[in-house]
């Protein structure tokens, strides 16, 4: 998105590049988890190969984005609770996408980054309705703040090979809750 707008702000990519951690190795080891550790593993090399395919698809084949490059990205390798606190000292954010799947990763993402989200900025959780512990982590954090009434839901409807994303459910019988996001009030 930023590339399309000609915006050269820094982008931070935080991931272990080793899959989800074992729940017992997180700071929330007592919280029940559906995960065992290692799920969704994608090495940095695998990520960059996939990224390059999408870059070529969007910039050269369809010429939708002028450029998509990782050169203004900062990669933070490690678990969120180890890497994100270091960002708190010198950075603020206008958009945060938390894709932690499990309780510990989701809670760490929102706990460490939401306080640094700028007034009017957005936070987005794509797995809010996919994994119950992601939803529970968001709600647990939000219950400690007065932000609960700002949650907005996205719906998806599968149409053949295409996936439509809507802010209101269309064709309610086939609509599925997809994600949650909100704009930080000023």
What mean pLDDT is predicted for residues 55-83? 75
Model confidence at 71, in pLDDT bands (50, 70, 90)? low
Average pLDDT, the chain: 80
Q: Which has more confidence, 139 or 54?
A: 139
Model confidence at 173, in pLDDT bands (50, 70, 90)? very low
Q: Is the pLDDT of residue 112 over 90?
A: yes
What mean pLDDT is predicted for residues 98-116? 94
Q: What's the pTM value of the predicted model, to 2 decimals?
A: 0.80
What mean pLDDT is predicted for residues 44-62? 80
- Residue-range domains of the chain with CATH: 11-183 (3.40.50.150)
- DSSP state letters, 77-127: ES-HHHHGGGGGGT--EEEEEE---SHHHHHHHHHHHGGGEEEEEEEEETT
């Amino acid at each position: 998105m930023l590339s399309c707008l000609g915006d050269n702000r820094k982008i931070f990519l935080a991931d272990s590049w080793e899959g989800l951690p074992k729940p017992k190795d997180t700071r929330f080891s007592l919280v029940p988890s559906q995960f065992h550790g290692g799920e969704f593993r994608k090495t940095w090399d695998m990520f960059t190969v996939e990224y390059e395919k999408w870059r070529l698809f969007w910039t050269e084949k369809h010429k939708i984005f002028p450029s998509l490059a990782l050169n203004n990205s900062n990669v933070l390798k490690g678990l969120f609770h180890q890497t994100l606190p270091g960002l708190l000292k010198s950075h603020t954010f206008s958009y945060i996408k938390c894709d932690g799947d499990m309780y510990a990763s989701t809670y760490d993402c929102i706990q460490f980054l939401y306080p640094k989200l700028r007034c009017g900025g957005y936070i987005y959780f794509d797995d809010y309705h996919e994994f119950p512990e992601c939803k529970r982590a968001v709600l647990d954090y939000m219950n400690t703040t007065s932000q609960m009434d700002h949650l907005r839901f996205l719906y998806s409807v599968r149409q053949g090979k295409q996936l439509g994303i809507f802010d209101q459910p269309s064709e309610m019988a086939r609509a599925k809750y997809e994600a949650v996001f909100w704009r930080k009030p000023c």
